[in-house]
Amino acid sequence: MNSGPDSAAVTSLDIRAVMAALPHRYPMLLVDRVEQLDRDKSIVAIKAVTINEGFFQGHFPGRPIMPGVLIVEALAQAAGVLAVESLGLAGSGKLVYFMAIDGAKFRKPVEPGVLLRLEVEFIQKRATVCKFAGKAYVGDKLAAQADFTAMIADPPAA
As annotated, the active-site residues are 59
37 CB-contact burial (10 Å; exposed 0-12 / middle 13-18 / buried 19+): buried
Q: Are 93 and 131 in contact (CB under 8 A)?
A: no
Q: Are 35 and 46 in contact (CB under 8 A)?
A: yes
Give the 3-state secondary structure of residue 87.
helix
Q: Write phi, then psi, for 141 (nearest 5 degrees).
A: -95, 130
State the SS3 of 96-123.
EEEEEEEEEEECCCCCCCEEEEEEEEEE
